[in-house]
Amino acid sequence: MKDLVRMRTSIAEEMHQLLNEQIKIEATASAKYLAMASWCAEQGFSYSEAYFMEQAQEEREHMIKFFKYINDAGGRAISAEVTNIPHEFESLRDVFETALEQEIGVTHSIYKLVEAARKNRDYITEHFLQWFIQEQMEEEVNARRAVQLFEIIGDDTGLGLYQIDKAIRKVRETE
Ligand SMILES: [Fe+2]
Ligand SMILES: [Fe+2]
């Protein structure tokens, strides 16, 4: 009886490890976005601040999804240690370019997970990851759109930066 109650799914060790790494990646992304929100707040870019606060929240939700998935699959989700978060940026453009780079990096880590799931014939994890593939596409589109504003509007004047910040508000509205 006890064995039935404690029935665990057979999550491969490699998957267990990679999924836990993804918890850390999402937690780090959330912490980095918080730092970006702080920088924007300090510089008076309030729409960008709001954008990054929301991004930070989403990354936390991603982290929780992986956390719950590992535990539901009979593994042990590890609460990640997150350190060395950069708080200094050269400019608003630098913040958004860093954000885009970060999203591209996360997309690659999701692809790596999908490949490992296929290799391990872990079809349920592969299925679970489909949501994240779609989500990453949307996240990259938003981040690219934000970076493009710097070219479209021009960030070499205070007025340009003011307009870019205002336009950031609309980046997510088109989702
Ligand atoms: Fe994420
Ligand atoms: Fe993201």
Average pLDDT by stretches of 10, the chain with 175 residues: 55 94 98 98 98 98 97 94 97 98 98 97 95 97 96 96 96 73
What pLDDT does 6 receive? 46
Q: Which ligand minimizes its atom distance to the CA of 139? A: 2
- The answer to whether 149 touches 97, Cβ cutoff 8 Å, is no
Residue 5 within any structural domain of the chain:
no
Q: Is the Cβ–Cβ distance between 13 and 70 less than 8 Å?
A: no
Domain with 114, as residue range(s), is 12-79+90-171
CA angle 30, 172, 67 (to 5 degrees): 30
Specify the pTM: 0.92
Domain count within the chain: 1
The protein residues having their C-beta less than 5 angstroms from ligand 1 (an ion) are 26, 59, 62
Structure tokens at 117: 């799931």
Residue 142 falls inside a structural domain? yes
Q: Domain containing 18 — which CATH number?
A: 1.20.1260.10
CA of 12 to the centre of ligand 2 (A): 26
What is the rounded distance in angstroms from the CA atom of residue 69 to the CA atom of residue 93? 36
Q: What's the gap in Å between 1 CA and the centre of ligand 2?
A: 43
Say what the pLDDT of residue 173 is: 73
What are the Cα distances from residue 66, in Å, to 27, 81, 139, 149? Answer: 11, 15, 17, 33
Whether residue 6 is contained in a domain is answered as: no
